[in-house]
Structure 1
Amino acid sequence: MMNVCIHSGVCGFITTVQAETDSDYQTKLQVESQCPNVKKIIEALGTLNVMNELFRKGQSEILSLSAQHLPHVTCPVPIGMLKALEASAGMALPKDVSISFTK
């Protein structure tokens, strides 16, 4: 099981993701979020096929639902969910990512 905590930035919402992938590359995400828009995505998500989510451009259920429900395209939650799924499937090492602003 892979655990990810996403601090979304100026909105102040925190989202936690638990991803567990089986031998057939089917992943179940357990997501908790304070964001009402992310909650809409969570309600619509079922079991995800890792290969479809990561390698079929334009066919990611996470990204499709995010486009429908998130008012800000720069929200980091969908990418955090995909990173959790990717690491859970053993297709990436669990390494932190970051975006830093400088002036």
Structure 2
Amino acid sequence: MNMQKIQAKINAGICGFITMVEAQSSDEQMVQLKIISPCETIQMLNEFIPEVDAYTEIGQGFKGMIHQAVQKTLKGCCSGCIVPSGIYKVMQVVTHLALPASATIEFKTEEGKL
């Protein structure tokens, strides 16, 4: 089977940090992850999730390795970071368990201006 590789660029928002997530899989199940970020907290996730089993991750949901690593690592205001969701999505896409579609969060004030 061919090695599948994917890369995603995640703009975390107001902090200004841009995270790159690289994922590869040779069997559409085991995924090797590499997280490149100027955010030291996000960068620490590399220690906990260098490789994950995509089927196990999906089966365990929020009890999987990715979400457990996030719970150990991200505290305080970082708990609302969108990067972990991006990491999970990259894992799904590289294993063909999800389609590669961009996602966004848009904010509007009561006046409709941001």
Q: Is this a same-fold pair by TM over 0.5?
A: yes
Give CA-to-partner distance per residue, 1:30-68, whole Å, 9 cap, x none.
110110101111122231000111221332111111111
Identity %, equivalent residues: 25
How many Å separate the matches in 2 of 1:8 and 1:79?
Answer: 11
**Partners of 1:19 and 1:88 within 8 A in 2:** yes
Change beyond 3 A, Cα 1:79–1:65: same
3-state SS of paired residue (1:95): coil
* Displacement of 1:95: 0.5
Q: Are 1:93 and 2:96 matched, yes or no?
A: no
Q: Which runs of 5+ in 1 are unaligned?
A: none
Query: Quick check: which has more Rg, 1 or 2?
Result: 2
User: 2:51 is matched with which residue: 39, 47, 50?
Assistant: 47
Q: Are 1:58 and 2:62 matched, yes or no?
A: yes
Following superposition of structure 1 onto structure 2, how do residues 12-91 of structure 1 map, counting pairs within 5 Å? 12-23=16-27, 25-71=29-75, 72-91=78-97
Q: Which runs of 5+ in 2 are unaligned?
A: 110-114
